[in-house]
């Protein structure tokens, strides 16, 4: 995946401020942070979206997400009061870089950032139906 900027970061062909690295996972600073301390965690192998990542690799990535998130709470100067773990899949969900990644974003009360999700109308009946549909899909795997 030569064109992928995150693959280039993994290969050392693009600069990044690395926070953590092992055989399978890399964590580095987001170039346009929502708050100071905004870190991205990626599998080193290129997978476009979460559902493409093999389970063992996604578990390894998640372990690093947990460690980075914990460190952010304790990093002097960040004054972390909360975190968002964000993971976008697909252009419709706002994914810009198609190498799967988790965002760990430190939050401060009053920092002004907000998710503006628009809610759909749902009833107990529609939620029951969707629960069954999704469950059936999971059972079919």
User: Could you say whether residue 30 binds ligand AMP (CB under 6 A)?
Assistant: yes
60 lies in the binding site for ligand AMP (CB under 6 A): no
Catalytic residue among 46, 101, 103, 121: 101
The rounded distance, in Å, linking the Cα atoms of 29 and 38 is 6
For residues 44 and 4, give the distance between their C-alpha atoms in angstroms, rounded to a whole number: 12
7 binds Zn ion (CB under 5 A): yes
Closer to ligand AMP by Cβ: residue 90 or 126: 90
* Residue number closest to Zn ion, CB atom: 4
Nearer to ligand AMP (CB atom), residue 25 or residue 40: 40
Which of 85, 86, 24, 88 has its CA nearest to residue 50? Answer: 88
Query: Kindly report the CA angle at 36 between 40 and 103, in degrees rounded to 5?
Result: 20
What gap in Å lies between CA 35 and CA 138, rounded to an integer? 36
Task: Give residues in contact with Zn ion (CB under 5 A).
Answer: 1, 4, 6-7, 46, 99
Task: Give residues in contact with ligand AMP (CB under 6 A).
Answer: 5, 14, 16, 30-32, 40, 88, 94-97
């Amino acid at each position: 995946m030569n064109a992928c900027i995150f693959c280039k970061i993994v290969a050392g062909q693009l600069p990044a401020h690395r926070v953590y690295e092992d055989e399978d996972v890399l964590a580095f600073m987001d170039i346009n942070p929502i708050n100071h301390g905004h870190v991205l965690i990626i599998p080193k192998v290129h997978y476009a979206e979460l559902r493409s990542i093999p389970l063992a690799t996604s578990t390894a990535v998640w372990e690093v997400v947990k460690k980075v998130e914990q460190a952010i709470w304790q990093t002097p100067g960040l004054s972390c009061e909360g975190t968002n773990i964000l993971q976008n899949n697909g252009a419709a969900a706002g994914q810009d870089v198609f190498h799967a990644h988790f965002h760990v974003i430190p939050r401060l009360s009053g920092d002004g950032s907000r998710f503006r999700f628009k809610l759909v109308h749902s009833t107990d009946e529609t939620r029951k139906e969707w629960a069954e549909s999704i469950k059936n899909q999971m059972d079919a795997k």
